[in-house]
Structure 1
Amino acid sequence: MEHDEMGCQPPPEGPILCVNNCGFFGSAANMNMCSKCYKDLILKQEQAKLAASSIENIVSGSSSGGDQEPIADAANMQTDMVEAKAISPQSINASSSADAGEPKTKEGPNRCNTCKKRVGLTGFKCRCGNLFCGSHRYSDKHNCPFDYRTVARDAIAKANPVIKAEKLDKI
């Protein structure tokens, strides 16, 4: 009865589900929406306002004088920056793949270069750049063209530079 006299309503008994039926709980501060749906709603409203203001600027910019154009350009640049920040990474990936024009080809199963056996995740990558199964992973088993001797010789030469002491001590 005290709540009725004061004109306020009692809080609901249990949690409130989001009005968008996304499965999460909403709050009264977010218009009974979950935080994600509320952010999406705010983002859509801002984009609609920006679109309306840009249309007004375009319409008024074509009939207006030269004094207001720099101000309108500055406003358009600021709205473009806000729109660029509002774009999600998923939409960037989707647009970049659509712009490329070439669909990604699905790679076939990983196979051993010697026996053509499927290796899956257990394949061994050789220094020659090929993939091999467990029995052909060693260089002598698949006639590897990689020159291990030269690479080892160069590594030892880099790690141990030649140091020569002078024959006479200078005074």
Structure 2
Amino acid sequence: MESSKETGCQAPEGPILCINNCGFFGSAATMNMCSKCHKDMILKQEQEKLVASSIENIVNGGSGSNWKEPVVTCTDVQSGPVELKVVATQASPDSSSSQSSEMKGKEGPNKCSTCRKRVGLTGFNCRCGNIFCAVHRYSDKHDCPFDYRTAARDAIAKANPVVKAEKLDKI
């Protein structure tokens, strides 16, 4: 007891609850917050810095190339998690086609294109671009429009280029 008076250190009398009233215990190292609340606070500060720097970059003009810097938007909900959306914009005429391919990404559950049976993670991707069940996975079972013969010919032609030597040595 006397050594604590000499050093000026005080032993904590009991556990300290988190200052955000989440029900967990905090510590002095994390500013009397639990580890989750402390991480959330640090993440929120970093996001605010990112937003401030991206807004400053936009206001100052950014780069002069065709590709623009990613724009970071932050939607903040008091009781829910913080969402971070990064939107990359480009100044090319192909922007409408790239957006439609992003929207097409994943549409509902995976089903066999022939029998419409749900396949989940066990579906087989065909070269024609469709997903099939175990019964219809082979090309002859689902009338595949993909031309395997020309694809194989192209692969062989690419792998074995024609090498032709000159008949006479040039002087």
What secondary structure sits across from 1:158 in the alignment? helix
Task: Give matches, 1:30-45, under 5 Å.
Answer: 30-34=30-34, 37=37, 40=41
- Greater fraction of residues in strand: 2
CA distance in 2, matches of 1:30, 1:124: 50
Task: Give matches, 1:43-54, under 5 Å.
Answer: none
Unaligned runs of 5+ in 1: 48-76, 96-103
CA distance in 1, matches of 2:152, 2:84: 45
Unaligned runs of 5+ in 2: 57-70, 77-81, 88-102
Contact 1:3–1:10 (CA under 8 A) maintained in structure 2:
no
Specify the alignment match of 1:93 in structure 2.
85
Give 1:6 deviation, angstroms: 5.6
Give 1:26 deviation, angstroms: 2.0
- Greater fraction of residues in helix: 1
Give 1:125 deviation, angstroms: 0.9
Give 1:170 deviation, angstroms: 3.3
Q: In the alignment, is residue 128 of structure 1 matched against residue 153 of structure 2? A: no
Give 1:121 deviation, angstroms: 1.1
Q: In the alignment, is residue 110 of structure 1 matched against residue 100 of structure 2? A: no
CA distance in 2, matches of 1:126, 1:4: 74
Per the alignment, do residues 2 and 88 of structure 1 end up closer, same or farther by CA in structure 2, a change over 3 Å counting? farther
What secondary structure sits across from 2:115 in the alignment? coil
Q: Deviations over 1:88-108 (max 9, x none)?
A: 89433399xxxxxxxx89843
- The letter for the 2-side match of 1:126 is C
Specify the alignment match of 2:152 in structure 1.
152
Give 1:113 deviation, angstroms: 1.2
Decide which moves more: 104-113 or 124-133. Answer: 104-113
Give 1:155 deviation, angstroms: 0.9
Identical residues among aligned pairs (%): 65
Alignment RMSD: 4.2
What secondary structure sits across from 2:84 in the alignment? helix
- The letter for the 1-side match of 2:156 is I
CA distance in 2, matches of 1:133, 1:144: 14
- The letter for the 2-side match of 1:127 is R
Per the alignment, do residues 29 and 88 of structure 1 end up closer, same or farther by CA in structure 2, a change over 3 Å counting? farther
CA distance in 2, matches of 1:147, 1:108: 28
Specify the alignment match of 2:27 in structure 1.
27
CA distance in 1, matches of 2:135, 2:124: 10
Larger Rg: 1
What secondary structure sits across from 1:92 in the alignment? strand
Per the alignment, do residues 155 and 37 of structure 1 end up closer, same or farther by CA in structure 2, a change over 3 Å counting? same
